[in-house]
Amino acid sequence: MKLPNVYLHALGMINALGADTAQIATALAAGVSPGMGPIALGGDEGAFAGSVQARLALAPPKPLAHCDCRNNRLLLAALAQIEPAVRAACERYGPARVGVVLGTSTSGIGAGEAALGVSSEQNAGGAPFDYVQMEIGSGAPFAAAALGLHGPAFTISTACTSSAKAFAAGRRLLQLGLCDALVVGGVDSLCELTLRGFAALESTSLERTNPMSVNRSGINIGEGAAVFLMSRDEGPAMLAGVGESSDAHHISAPDPSGEGGERALRAALADAGMTARAIGYVNLHATATRKNDEMEARLMSRVFPHGVAASGTKPLTGHTLGAAGATELGFAWLALVGERATLPRHIWDGVADPALPVLDLVADERRLSVGQAVMSNSFAFGGSNVSLVLAH
């Protein structure tokens, strides 16, 4: 039995590029990010990161005031952009048939850090804080409550594939008829736990990240939220293919051969019923760590032996961790159906690593050819791999 097609209808985003999808599309086309730069960690320490510059004025509704934290305000800012589409879905299907699947890795840990810091300094009281703010699974139930949705609501946390896997899970819910529409995406906010944690792994760069370069020296952490409305109703872009694999090579290092990631890409193409030649653009995971870029370049050269336009967009957002899969699928969606519909540029120093296979990295304004599909890749600690394909 052929399963029904699933479509992505409306997109809401906020990250270092801008406060909404229109701002982000403009900045993405120009290859300029106002939120990328040095930030202070405390003391004399610092980091280069992607931070949201906009004031997050939208607070949780009064019954959810105990959930007020930066992570949830980022989520609310993205949700507000698709709320009309969500309301229309509720009117058509009823709120019990509309659900939420989100990915995250930080939740509201930053709020916990702030509360602990105040409590330590004053030795009493602390900042207004509720532990639910930093519960890793709280994002989807919070979004459902904020929007008045009563369908399935759960959060996925698989490090940097979290929100990419949310799309795989959401599509299954729709194809099985367990709901009729879903809010799907991811959110993560900057906090010292991740900034210092990745620094301790010697994975971060004190300059703008430089993917696929011989001079690459690590990642920049970022923050943001990206959400879609997904349903079986025909829309501007179909989630045509999903590929997942788990190679469990190492707790933090990727399999240098890229075999696990390659299985995910090939599974996504097979699921979409496409050959590699049908793909006109790939958003790379491209963290700019030595091992990740080496692995990804190798598997890309095998899956796309004739080449394909590709770019890594983390120099413009930072690595948004649990929100990266949804954010970068959002960029692929804009390349497919956006008003500008240009391919995101690959921002780097242009000095290719001679040890890596040559990739067709987007350097100037380019567009998809008619009928071409797009792909977005995500790879995570523990060998979690996800590839998603969008098509008209």
Ordered by start, the domain boundaries in the chain are: 7-231, 237-391
Annotate 118-151 with three-state secondary structure: HHHHHCCCCCCCCHHHHCCCCHHHHHHHHHCCCC
The CATH architecture assigned to 237-391 reads 3-Layer(aba) Sandwich (3.40)
CATH topology agreement for domains 7-231 and 237-391: yes
Question: Does the global pTM surpass 0.85?
Answer: yes
If one compares 383 and 181, the residue with the highest pLDDT of the two is 181
Nearest Cα to Cα of residue 345 among 365, 367, 369: 365
Would you place residue 339 in the very low, low, confident or very high pLDDT band (cuts 50, 70, 90)? confident
Burial label for 285, CB within 10 Å (0-12, 13-18, 19+), is buried
What SS3 class is residue 316?
helix
Contact 161, 386 (CB under 8 A): yes
Nearest Cα to Cα of residue 239 among 32, 14, 5: 5
| Rounded-to-integer distance, Cα 273 and Cα 289, Å | 32
Per-residue pLDDT reduced to its tens digit, 4-15 = 999 999 999 999
| Rounded-to-integer distance, Cα 12 and Cα 133, Å | 22
Per-residue pLDDT reduced to its tens digit, 147-179 = 999 999 999 999 999 999 999 999 999 999 999
Mean pLDDT for 89-98 is 98
CATH H-level superfamily of 7-231: Thiolase/Chalcone synthase (3.40.47.10)
Per-residue pLDDT reduced to its tens digit, 37-72 = 999 876 556 789 999 999 999 999 999 999 999 999
Mean pLDDT for 188-195 is 93
